[in-house]
Structure 1
Amino acid sequence: MGWTVSEHSFEPGRITANGNKYMAGNGYLGFRGVLEEFGKEQLAAVTLAGVYDRSGSQWREPVNAPNGLYTVVSANGCKLSVLETEPLAHTQSLDFRSAINRRETMFGIPGGGRVTLTAERFASMDQHHLLAASWTLHCTADCRIEITTGIDGAVWDINGPHLLEQQSRSAGGALLSTAVTGELGLPVAVAELTVFGLAEQGELADAVIVLDRGTALRHFSIDAKVGETYTWWKYAAVYTGLDTQGDPAKGSPDERAVQTVQAAAATGYASLLEAHRLKWEERWSRSDCVIEGDEEAQLALRYSIYQLLIIAPVQSERVSIPARGLSGQVYKGAVFWDTEMFMLPFFLHSDPGIARNLMMYRIQTLDGARQKAAEYGYLGAFYAWESQDSGDDACTLFNVNDVFTGRPMRTYFRDKQIHISADVVHGLWQYILFTGDDSILADGGAEVIWECARFFYYYAYYNPVKQRYELLDVTGPDEYHERVNNNAFTSALVQETLKIALQTAERLQDKYPAAYTVLAESFADGPFLDEFTAMLAQLYVPQPDPETLVIEQFDRYLKLEDVPLTELKQRVIHPNEYWGGGNGLATTTRILKQADVVLMLHLFRDRYSREVKQANWEFYEPRTEHGSSLSSCIYALAAADIGLPDWGYPYFMRTATIDLTGESKQYVGDLYIGGTHPAANGGAWMAAVLGYAGLSFDGETARLQPALPQGWSAVELPVVLRGSSFRLRIGREEITVTAAAGNSEAVSFVGFGGETVLCPPGAILELAFQSNQRGA
């Protein structure tokens, strides 16, 4: 139960949404969930992780490779494509337990009879460069079948072209498409090999190979007989110059691609599929979250986890997760704060190795952050709002066009969202707390933390009258209000950065004294620990109002027009108009784009009372437009934290189903922002596990304080804490914690009743509740 999504008709209006919904991937590449006969007009794309290119003066974005699984079938001269012939029946499905995409389509054919095409495909989780597909064809009348299959070199680009010098040829029985990227001259190679299982089913006409630049196609034909089933398999491989860089022994990308498909054909589809399935079983054993009592939520949560697993950087610490995953080139394929705030928690609890890769990416891109800080006249590290391979900021000064005039609008995402550097520090420290792996500090983490603290010291303004440091002219998570003073979220994260900077010094001196001496010397000219200490002691962070308990989002926020959200929506003139910026609808009102103060309360939930959290939830929830996919999950989390989970349950479901329904914002101004939503996928997991299951961990003690929504009888999941594995079962009456026998250390657990129990390796413990529902 709860492992498959499917549709049983073909709807042209759903092509783009289904490309997202039926995504496949393995961290190296993403394959959009298109049908096999689709091309660039239907946004077919093989998006490569960490490979970027800039065409002329256009936005730099990820590179899409040629599609090696392209296939079109004709019968009696009629093309059997849903784009040209209305099918009699059609089903597309995704089995996300094994990450297999399937389609079955039935067509009527000229002269009478029907042809049924069945295909399944996967992006191998065992061999990350490999795509594989299996086809069958069955007809109810004798007919002439023609099959065109190979590599489609017509690549979908938003700001391309990115593949130059496209060429195609035959090589060792395979087809090969090669090109180089325009900006860096990086080789890209795609090889394809088709194997037919037709020897006993009829004579197969010799293939006619057509080569046209990067397109390489075979044309086969056969006189198909009624009642027979015809089968063929396709193998495609993708390599770039990044895969062979610096090691001539690895061979060229085109050689590697051809060798990979030849080896795949020799191994056979069934064996490749089994190896792929075993890898997925392993991944799910570390991450599956079982919900009892709510099948709809179970399906949506597993699907959200699947979307995270297909984009996780399993091979490289130089790659992170873009804001739209590997679903295409939207948002320039850039890495945002989403990764640390909304995706990292899932990997910290399930796969610390991937979590380390995500944080090492930030360490690898420190120089880009330094250069950005210097560009604005500061020392330290100001991380890119939109980060690509080098860490340079891909965010432009004019990110949105006005829908009324068509003119570019000046935005301040790049300049004023300084919290991005604090988000990076927060992620690093969370990694250290969860894993105990403080070697990352000596591997560059300490330098990142201190450089970010140094940047904030330079950015801050010391108010001599109020005798405090303030953070002026910033933009918080609520991007509808730009260039504000003392945004509460930003100030709280900067405060945490300063604390972490000081703790880093203590830990580095204690554990890695030689590394500390060398690194501290490079900071000797300051600002350094003394200045960080002084700023921490005097930094202004907005606090709850003594009477209302509301934390003002930024200075003078409460002076803005307090218009109901429903009324503001009535002022909309154009459905795609941008609500923020200088003239946006929300700019002069209290309506905010997404969780801001409420997100801060989640991150630092131990600092605030239940009363403060509830007061702010009730104040900000009706004023939040949820113009970002990052927002809903935070309101679900906060509601669970105050013991009222059903308040936030609709927000949890909205988050968990965003890529299933396709009901998300597709445009900001005239800018297309479609694609998958990995931050929402991570947010759904956070709401279920950190919210409803009530799990928190401070590096030593795990606390379980559940708030299960109505209909959920239990939640069960695996977690990894400081290298030790546990299985948690959270029911309404009791919690069971099972520790793996191979654990290296014990972890303490605190149940709802306040009892702390040590869970040693191999142990099973039960924690009973004093009552079965908080807030009851």
Structure 2
Amino acid sequence: MKKIIEKEFALNYLNKYGSQMTVGNGYLGVRGALEEEYPEQVRGMYVAGIYNRPSGSLSSELVNLPDVTRFQVMLDGENFSMQAGKVHAYERYLDMNTGELIRKITWESSAGKKYQLNFHRFVSKAAKHVIAAKVEIMPLSGAAKVKVKTGIDAQQTNFGTQQLAELSLRIFDEKLMVGEYETIESKQHITIATKVNKKGIFTAKNRQLMTEVEQEIAENQLFTLEKISMVKTSLDQVDAELPNTTYAELKRASETLWADFWEHAGVRVESTNDFDQFALDFACYHLEIMTPKDDFRCSVGAKGLTGEGYKGHVFWDTEIFIMPFFLYNKPEIAKQLLKYRYLHLKEAKEKATKNGYNGALFPWESAFSGEEETPEFAAINIRTGTRQKVASAISEHHLVADIAYAVCEYETATKDAQFMKECGSELLLETAEFWLSRATNRNGRLEILDVIGPDEYTEHIDNNTYTNYMAHYNVKKALEWNKDNADFVARAEAFLEKIYLPVANESGLIPQDDTFLEKDWINLDKYKAAQGTQGILLDYSRQEVNELQILKQADLVMLFYLFPRMFAPDAVKQNLDYYENRTIHDSSLSKAIHAIVENRTGNRAQAYQFFQEACLIDLGNEPHSSDDGLHAASLGAIWLAVVFGFAGIDTSGELLEIAPNIPDSWQSVAFEFSWKGEKILVEIAQNRLHLSKSTKSVLELVIHGEKHQLTDTLTIKLDQKDVSL
């Protein structure tokens, strides 16, 4: 049963459920706001790629479009609200099997009359522009007069900022309403059309185009109002029309595609803890509805299409944490995400030139234009009254190599020579050119100075190990793909020979950067207990944190994750223990990565604990953890933790390697995995690995260090042990 369930109405959790219960399809996302109004409830409807830069702002924002989900219900003259009257029964859930959001309430008015109200909503997976909604009302205490008011509400804002100009409002045949809008700065045109299946009285006032339907209903008679809406924009490559159909017909078509998704992209876990399967379903569902499928002008923002956090901007999260889910399920979607970067190679080269470098320097935060969107200053510190400069755009350059890494992962998994010819090799070349110009000749070697690694609590440091190794990998792979460029070959070979790659000191510790191991250490138990809140910044300034051995998230451990064979197992274990003790995990990107590396070292119990804690980032009890949207990358990381952690998948070589080590509480895990044109069904039990595929071609792979050949099926006995070195 794939359901996100709200067992009782609680205002404190309103916006968290609004994010969790988002319905969508990758083109369009609609937050799971309740149909009636409540204080501080945030409605949201977003289309991938529709951004606007508000007046006075340096950053564009994913636009919150006019709302079509609101229904004002009057029952015998009394406004329906769960803050009034009495709620006798309440149930709300998002059925992830079908993408349908359902709410059922038995409500008693202040006059003592009872009613049954049911609300249904989904965004079509078959017709990507369409939102379908249905309201059902049944009087339970005699006949009733029902009034329902709904339509198009353009009063929505982005945290109070209005992004749209209203161009025109039209009504047709007493059922159809059409609103035309335009983003104020970016001049994107949006059309929203909506119709109901009953005639009503129209009003247009204060940016709202509404219809009010009124009907007398006998006791136990069902009143049903269906509302079909459509959104289209000037970015659309194919025109869309409002379908002339019913809620049920739209639902059937959408359900068929959802069934196909779950059959091929779902992960099936048999566990003594049902939460594991639920968390995986939650992650897979949201990864699917947040990712554009057929337009490489758009990518995945840090909150997907579930909210306005980070203004809808695209980070390194997409390539490292989100793209793998699609690369190994639907590689064509992964290619779209990489083509988004290639599309903006020109802007990346312009940014590099502006900053005094060669090649391509991609923006730390990106949107539709491909230009840098990172704000120059952070929010005002209410204790000091000052704003701190945001250093990410000028120093957090590992993003460049992260994109190159994703290109290489795509090529290895797909052998897509056409993509490499058209996009991939040039991306590798231009990102490598950046590193050739970014490195400084010092101490008889090439060093990369004044950077920020993945750990954002440690700023403006030299020779971040993650960054240096990633730069080396970037240039090495570019060299492999550009051997006919003699000038580049000579410079790349010189770079690879001289670049400084930090190694373990006499104590066996690999330094995170030049000075990290020289800094003081403090006990972090207090802050680890409140991880995700950045509580340490209430006790220490950012500068003070920067001078301590404190990590916000996995840094060197990220390198261990991406390159599982680069360092000796004993070295990984020692450094994992050392750095985890200094990591607060204040970033949602951290816990799942630690889970993977812990599992690879044999510490299955600790890995499972980290995995479960990673699942709680959006599914935990904290009521406001996801108010402005879900943590998209952490959802991708949940999938990574299962596939690259517990299942032991390793794609870092030409041969696929599998070394399963599933938790004790799991009886089995199964999923499909795309590799070099083959779709492999991977089924793992505690003592058995079974692989199967539909073709008879021979696929060579490595299982627990031994080579095997897979034709159609292969079964291997396993001996799993919790090493806990």
Q: TM-score, normalised by structure 1?
A: 0.89
Q: Which amino acid aligns with 1:143?
A: A
Q: Which amino acid aligns with 1:113?
A: K
Q: SS at the partner of 1:612?
A: helix
Q: SS at the partner of 1:185?
A: coil
Give, in whole Å, the separation in 2 of the partners of 1:633 and 1:15. Answer: 27
Q: State the 1:582 CA deviation.
A: 6.9
Q: Deviations over 1:543-598 (max 9, x none)?
A: 12243x221101111111111113678999x9767479974452221011000011
Q: Deviations over 1:26-54 (max 9, x none)?
A: 10111111111248941101011111101
Give, in whole Å, the separation in 1 of the partners of 2:530 and 2:40. Answer: 35
Pick the aligned partner of 1:295 from 274, 297, 304.
274
Q: How does 1:297-696 map to 2 (within 5 A)?
A: 297-463=276-442, 466-506=443-483, 520=485, 528-547=488-507, 549-566=508-525, 578=537, 583-661=542-620, 663=622, 674-696=628-650
* 636 and 83 in structure 1: CA distance in 2 versus 1, 3 angstrom threshold: same
Contact 1:150–1:217, Cα closer than 8 Å, also in 2: yes
Q: Which amino acid aligns with 1:739?
A: K
* 367 and 393 in structure 1: CA distance in 2 versus 1, 3 angstrom threshold: same
Q: How does 1:691-730 map to 2 (within 5 A)?
A: 691-698=645-652, 700-730=654-684
* 438 and 449 in structure 1: CA distance in 2 versus 1, 3 angstrom threshold: same
Pick the aligned partner of 1:751 from 683, 700, 703.
703
Q: State the 1:135 CA deviation.
A: 2.0
Q: State the 1:301 CA deviation.
A: 1.1
Which residue is equivalent to 1:514? Answer: none
Pick the aligned partner of 1:177 from 179, 197, 206.
179
Q: Deviations over 1:697-742 (max 9, x none)?
A: 246422111111120121111111111111011112111001123x
Q: State the 1:600 CA deviation.
A: 0.6
Q: Which amino acid aligns with 2:706?
A: E
* 484 and 287 in structure 1: CA distance in 2 versus 1, 3 angstrom threshold: same
Task: Please list every run of 5 or more consecutive structure 2 residues that lacks an aligned counterpart in the other structure.
Answer: none
Q: Which amino acid aligns with 2:616?
A: T
Q: Does 1:77 align with 2:77?
A: yes
Q: State the 1:283 CA deviation.
A: 1.3
Identity within the alignment, %: 28
Give, in whole Å, the separation in 2 of the partners of 1:665 and 1:381. Answer: 38
Q: State the 1:319 CA deviation.
A: 1.0
Q: SS at the partner of 1:286?
A: helix
* 138 and 567 in structure 1: CA distance in 2 versus 1, 3 angstrom threshold: closer
Q: State the 1:495 CA deviation.
A: 0.7
Q: Which amino acid aligns with 1:174?
A: L
Give, in whole Å, the separation in 2 of the partners of 1:44 and 1:404. Answer: 31
Contact 1:335–1:386, Cα closer than 8 Å, also in 2: yes
Give, in whole Å, the separation in 1 of the partners of 2:529 and 2:608. Answer: 27
Q: Which amino acid aligns with 1:769?
A: L
Q: SS at the partner of 2:209?
A: strand
Q: SS at the partner of 1:64?
A: coil
* 458 and 491 in structure 1: CA distance in 2 versus 1, 3 angstrom threshold: same
Give, in whole Å, the separation in 1 of the partners of 2:627 and 2:475. Answer: 35
Q: Relative to structure 2, which stretch is displaced further, 586-595 or 154-163?
A: 154-163
Q: Relative to structure 2, which stretch is displaced further, 657-666 or 554-563?
A: 657-666
Q: Which amino acid aligns with 2:698?
A: A
Which residue is equivalent to 1:131? Answer: 131
Q: Which amino acid aligns with 2:139?
A: C
Q: State the 1:771 CA deviation.
A: 5.0
Which residue is equivalent to 1:44? Answer: 43
Contact 1:43–1:156, Cα closer than 8 Å, also in 2: no
Q: Does 1:769 align with 2:723?
A: no
How many residue pairs end up in the alignment? 720
* 628 and 334 in structure 1: CA distance in 2 versus 1, 3 angstrom threshold: same
Q: SS at the partner of 1:68?
A: coil
Contact 2:307–2:629, Cα closer than 8 Å, also in 1: yes
Q: Deviations over 1:460-511 (max 9, x none)?
A: 0012xx32110111000111111100001101100110111111124xx6xx
Q: SS at the partner of 2:327?
A: helix
Q: Does 1:286 align with 2:240?
A: no
Q: Deviations over 1:195-234 (max 9, x none)?
A: 14xxxxxxxxx51101125421111111121111111211
Give, in whole Å, the separation in 2 of the partners of 1:309 and 1:658. Answer: 18
Pick the aligned partner of 1:218 from 211, 216, 235.
211
Contact 2:53–2:185, Cα closer than 8 Å, also in 1: yes
Contact 2:322–2:636, Cα closer than 8 Å, also in 1: yes
Q: Does 1:239 align with 2:232?
A: yes
Give, in whole Å, the separation in 1 of the partners of 2:520 and 2:53. Answer: 43
* 82 and 111 in structure 1: CA distance in 2 versus 1, 3 angstrom threshold: closer
Contact 2:120–2:135, Cα closer than 8 Å, also in 1: yes
Q: SS at the partner of 1:613?
A: helix
Q: SS at the partner of 2:126?
A: coil
* 111 and 62 in structure 1: CA distance in 2 versus 1, 3 angstrom threshold: same
* 286 and 154 in structure 1: CA distance in 2 versus 1, 3 angstrom threshold: same
* 584 and 102 in structure 1: CA distance in 2 versus 1, 3 angstrom threshold: farther
Contact 1:179–1:214, Cα closer than 8 Å, also in 2: no
Q: Which amino acid aligns with 2:497?
A: A
Q: Which amino acid aligns with 2:637?
A: G
Q: State the 1:110 CA deviation.
A: 4.4
Query: RMSD of the alignment, in Å?
Result: 2.3
Contact 2:19–2:627, Cα closer than 8 Å, also in 1: no
Give, in whole Å, the separation in 2 of the partners of 1:450 and 1:286. Answer: 35
Q: Which amino acid aligns with 1:280?
A: W
Give, in whole Å, the separation in 1 of the partners of 2:400 and 2:530. Answer: 36
Q: SS at the partner of 2:593?
A: helix
Give, in whole Å, the separation in 2 of the partners of 1:404 and 1:111. Answer: 50
Q: State the 1:111 CA deviation.
A: 3.6
Give, in whole Å, the separation in 2 of the partners of 1:575 and 1:453. Answer: 34
Contact 1:557–1:590, Cα closer than 8 Å, also in 2: yes
Give, in whole Å, the separation in 2 of the partners of 1:774 and 1:302. Answer: 29
Q: Does 1:208 align with 2:201?
A: yes
Q: SS at the partner of 1:226?
A: coil
Q: Does 1:194 align with 2:196?
A: yes
Q: Which amino acid aligns with 2:151?
A: G
Q: Deviations over 1:595-615 (max 9, x none)?
A: 001111111111112111111
* 224 and 366 in structure 1: CA distance in 2 versus 1, 3 angstrom threshold: same
